[in-house]
């Protein structure tokens, strides 16, 4: 892989279409910014509608090419596995690229890049397990069966937080099943997806099977999600953008898979070990500076321990070290975008104005070494309630609102009082209570005495405005394939069509 942080610095990155890196037809490039300094560090191509069209056409041609269509499932699986092995071989470079592009911690990115290959291996194994079924119809000498086949060209739009991890969960099964793909990474973190394109060549993935069009959402993303040659859209991002894409998909009558925002409830009952629950809540909201879709941003604490819990949470929060994402002792790095920092500041201000108490954080760090970057201190707002704007909107930053509750019934009402339904967490030793919560909460994932514990073998996704469709596990085989019903009459005779036999 030629792409490294050193080579990216000051470089100009092209589009990846039909197995080659090519310049955008209009010759436009835009900068990507380093979140630790706010300075541009490389330029990437701005794909226009004509480039997107070329990428989709290449993916359509690849779908029909013998190189892909006539490849055995086992061979396809081996290619997907090989791509995963190459990610592992280049884990350190890829981790550095993502860290530089979106400001996430280098140690976290290293761990992620080393974990991603396992998921390629898992999905590679699906290549030869796409089974159909036989239907016993009420007719003699007739075989009626459903077979599963690839859907076609799948368009994937991914966000800037953990681009390769987000991409893997859909790209690996999509390829294993025999689809072809056009990816549009976020303009704020495109480099690792382009590096993956290089690895795709090395893995032997045929030209056109995997394409990357970089650019911004309004131009490149819109062109991709309006293109009539796409058979399915896979989107990860905000609920607002999800709505636009779903409406484009409606025009083309194609299905979508939507992984959208969240405002996840994180619940603490008074029977828990407070230190353990505090660690859970801190990791649920402050990991990745709160820039995770499952962030536990609304914390509900049972009234008898509310004061004690808040005190322990504030004390732990003050010990979270904000620093450079490449430093080993940093707990949280900068926000990925200047706009994200402004958004966080706005919501903290509005929370205080609406009556929440600022118990920790709430400002940019005082350290002059961090002054140029988009850093923000982990923030705890207490005396929060569901009417406050910061408790309703997804902030996507290191801000948690804490509020007390007294009964389970009240808790469920409060926790479900949100347009979102992505994830949830509960800390209690009472298993009956935990199971009642799991039954009643409107969220696609429920974590009991843990949080952010994700596995590619389980199927996850949202409810309500957090989206639809599932990722991970065997469910993806249904998501990325379509059924065809085949009927075979082996009686050797065609009945007289005008003779109707009554039973």
Which residues in this chain contact ligand NDP in the complex, by CB under 6 A? 157-161, 184, 186-188, 216-218, 221-222, 225, 236-238, 241, 244-245, 259-262, 293, 394, 396, 422
Q: How far apart are CA 78 and CA 80, in angstroms?
A: 5
In terms of CB distance, is 225 or 379 closer to ligand NDP? 225
Q: How far apart are CA 482 and CA 109, in angstroms?
A: 34
What are φ and ψ of residue 457, in 5° steps?
Answer: -80, -15
Closest separation in Å from C-beta 215 to ligand NDP: 7
Closest separation in Å from C-beta 369 to ligand NDP: 27
What element of type H or E holds 42?
strand 40-45
In terms of CB distance, is 289 or 301 closer to ligand NDP? 289
Q: How far apart are CA 41 and CA 31, in angstroms?
A: 7
Closest separation in Å from C-beta 466 to ligand NDP: 6
SS3 321: coil
Closest separation in Å from C-beta 368 to ligand NDP: 29
Closest separation in Å from C-beta 224 to ligand NDP: 7
β-pair type (399-405, 298-302): parallel
Q: CA dist 85 to 78, 162, 168, 371, Å? A: 10, 19, 13, 39
The answer to whether 463 and 442 have CB atoms below 8 angstroms apart is yes
Q: Where are the alpha helices (DSSP H) in 319-418?
A: 338-353, 389-392, 408-415
In terms of CB distance, is 77 or 261 closer to ligand NDP? 261
Q: CA dist 119 to 6, 115, 422, 443, 444, Å? A: 28, 7, 22, 24, 21
The answer to whether 263 and 392 have CB atoms below 8 angstroms apart is yes
Active site residue 43: no
In terms of CB distance, is 262 or 325 closer to ligand NDP? 262
Active site residue 259: yes
SS3 204: coil
In terms of CB distance, is 125 or 228 closer to ligand NDP? 228
What are the tokens at 166? 């987000």
In terms of CB distance, is 54 or 155 closer to ligand NDP? 155
Closest separation in Å from C-beta 187 to ligand NDP: 3
Q: CA dist 415 to 46, 91, 276, 437, 454, Å? A: 42, 39, 21, 10, 21
Q: CA dist 35 to 41, 163, 170, 196, 325, Å? A: 10, 16, 27, 22, 10
Q: Of residues 99, 174, 256, 293, which has the active-site annotation?
A: 293
In terms of CB distance, is 261 or 404 closer to ligand NDP? 261
Give the CA count within 13 Å in the CB-facing half-sphere of 223.
20
Q: What is the DSSP string of 478-497?
A: HHTEEEEEEEEE-SS-PPPT
What are the tokens at 315? 């004390």
Closest separation in Å from C-beta 455 to ligand NDP: 14
In terms of CB distance, is 101 or 394 closer to ligand NDP? 394
Q: How far apart are CA 295 and CA 424, in angstroms?
A: 9
DSSP state of 253: T
Q: Of residues 108, 259, 302, 479, which has the active-site annotation?
A: 259
Residue with tokens 């704020």: 188
In terms of CB distance, is 3 or 340 closer to ligand NDP? 340
Closest separation in Å from C-beta 483 to ligand NDP: 26
What are the tokens at 497? 């069509």
In terms of residues, how long is the chain? 503
Closest separation in Å from C-beta 228 to ligand NDP: 16
Catalytic residues: 259, 293
């Amino acid at each position: 892989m030629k792409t490294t942080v050193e080579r990216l610095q000051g470089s100009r990155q092209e589009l990846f279409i039909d197995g080659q890196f090519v310049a955008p037809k209009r010759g436009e490039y835009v900068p990507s910014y380093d979140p630790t300094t706010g300075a541009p560090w490389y330029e990437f191509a701005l794909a226009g509608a004509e480039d997107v069209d070329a990428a989709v056409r290449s993916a359509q041609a690849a779908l029909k090419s013998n190189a892909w269509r006539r490849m055995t499932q086992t061979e396809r699986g081996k290619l997907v596995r090989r791509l995963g092995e190459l990610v592992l071989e280049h884990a350190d470079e890829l981790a550095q690229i993502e860290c530089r592009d979106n400001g996430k911690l280098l140690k976290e990115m290293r761990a992620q890049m080393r974990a991603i290959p396992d998921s390629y291996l898992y999905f590679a194994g699906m290549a030869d397990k796409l089974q159909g079924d036989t239907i016993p119809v009420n007719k003699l000498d007739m075989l009626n069966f459903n077979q599963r086949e690839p859907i076609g060209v799948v368009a994937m739009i991914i966000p800037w937080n953990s681009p390769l991890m987000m991409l893997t969960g859909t790209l690996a099964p999509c390829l294993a099943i025999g689809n072809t793909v056009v990816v549009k990474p976020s303009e704020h973190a495109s480099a690792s997806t382009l590096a993956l394109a290089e690895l795709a060549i090395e893995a032997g993935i045929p030209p056109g099977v995997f394409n990357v069009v970089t650019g911004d959402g309004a131009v490149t993303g819109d062109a991709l999600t309006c293109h009539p040659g796409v058979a399915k859209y896979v989107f990860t991002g905000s609920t607002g953008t999800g709505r636009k894409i779903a409406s484009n998909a409606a025009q083309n009558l194609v299905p979508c898979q939507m992984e959208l925002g969240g405002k996840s409830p994180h619940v603490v009952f008074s029977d828990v070990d407070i230190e353990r629950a505090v660690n859970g809540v801190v990791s649920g909201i402050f990991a990745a500076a709160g820039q995770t879709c499952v962030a536990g941003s609304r914390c509900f604490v049972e009234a008898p321990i509310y004061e004690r819990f808040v005190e322990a949470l504030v004390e732990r929060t003050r010990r979270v070290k904000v620093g450079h994402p490449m430093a080993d002792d940093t707990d949280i790095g900068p926000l990925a975008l200047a706009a994200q920092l402004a958004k966080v500041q706005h919501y903290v201000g509005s929370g205080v104005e609406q009556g929440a108490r600022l118990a920790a954080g709430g400002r940019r760090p005082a350290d002059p070494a961090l002054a140029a970057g988009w850093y923000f201190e982990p923030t705890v707002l207490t005396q929060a309630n569901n009417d406050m704007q910061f408790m309703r909107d997804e902030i996507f930053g290191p801000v948690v609102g804490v509020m007390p509750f007294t009964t389970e019934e009240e808790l469920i009402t409060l926790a479900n009082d949100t347009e979102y339904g992505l994830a949830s967490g509960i800390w209690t030793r009472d298993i009956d209570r935990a199971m009642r919560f799991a039954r009643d909460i409107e969220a696609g994932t429920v974590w009991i005495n843990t949080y952010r514990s994700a596995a590619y073998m389980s199927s996850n996704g949202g409810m309500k405005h957090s989206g639809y469709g599932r990722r991970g596990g065997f469910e993806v085989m249904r998501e990325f394939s379509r059924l065809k019903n085949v009927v075979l009459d082996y009686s050797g005779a065609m009945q007289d069509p005008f003779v109707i036999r009554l039973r």
